[in-house]
Amino acid sequence: MIPDGANIKHQTKLANASTTTAALTVSQLLVFNSVKHARSVESTSVRHSRERETPLPLYLSLKIHAATRSRGLIDTLFSLGMCVSYDRLPQLTADIANGVCQRFNMEEVVCPPKLRKGLFTTGAVDNFDHNPSSATAKDSFHGRGISLMQHHHTRMADSTVV
């Protein structure tokens, strides 16, 4: 009702994608900024509960941090109630990394979490050595890099190759 108004005829029609996205954004920010109990008058700090963190404030902080690494920009948006604070990012990235590691341990296979079933997948494996001429082997490192790639394909119209 907020983006479209209180007209019942408009509410019964299918909403377009931009209206739906705007409504979801506003609703997530409302939940993120809501509190259980009123703050005291003396309190000047903004405090958000982890239980009320919605995907949008988390995504915005991660996206801005990845693009700019700007603490000032993230803290400004945090003070406006639009994203989580810069100080929350290390906890957030650690939680994501731990979740991926738990999935790897549970499935007993190391595989990127975004791989999709039913797509043609190729892999490349290569060894790499750092300082292989070391006589003591203290400074040498031997490792293996594995890359998996998925290929999206679309069916081409039946055509004859001449």
Give the DSSP per-residue string, 141-153.
EEEEEEEEEEE--
Total domains in the fold of the chain: 1
Token pair 């108004």 in the structure block, residue: 5
| Rounded CA separation 22/61 (Å) | 18
AA identity, residue 35: V
Q: Is residue 105 part of a domain?
A: no
Is the residue at 84 inside a domain?
A: yes
- Residue 27 falls within a domain, yes or no? yes
* Overall pTM > 0.75: no
pLDDT per residue of the chain (162 residues) written in tens, 0 to 9: 666 666 666 555 555 666 678 888 888 999 898 877 766 666 555 567 788 889 999 999 999 999 999 999 999 999 999 999 999 999 999 998 899 889 888 887 777 777 888 888 898 999 877 765 656 656 677 788 888 888 877 655 444 454
Per the domain annotation, does 17 fall within a domain?
A: yes
How far apart are the C-alpha atoms of 109 and 123, rounded to whole Å?
A: 15
Please check whether residue 110 lies inside any domain of the structure. no
Whether 56 maps to a domain, the answer reads yes
- Is residue 125 within 8 A of residue 96, CB to CB? The reply is no
The rounded Cα 34 to chain-centroid distance in angstroms is 23
Q: Looking at the domain assignment, is residue 18 inside a domain? A: yes
Q: Is residue 20 part of a domain?
A: yes
Give residue 68's domain range: 8-38+45-95
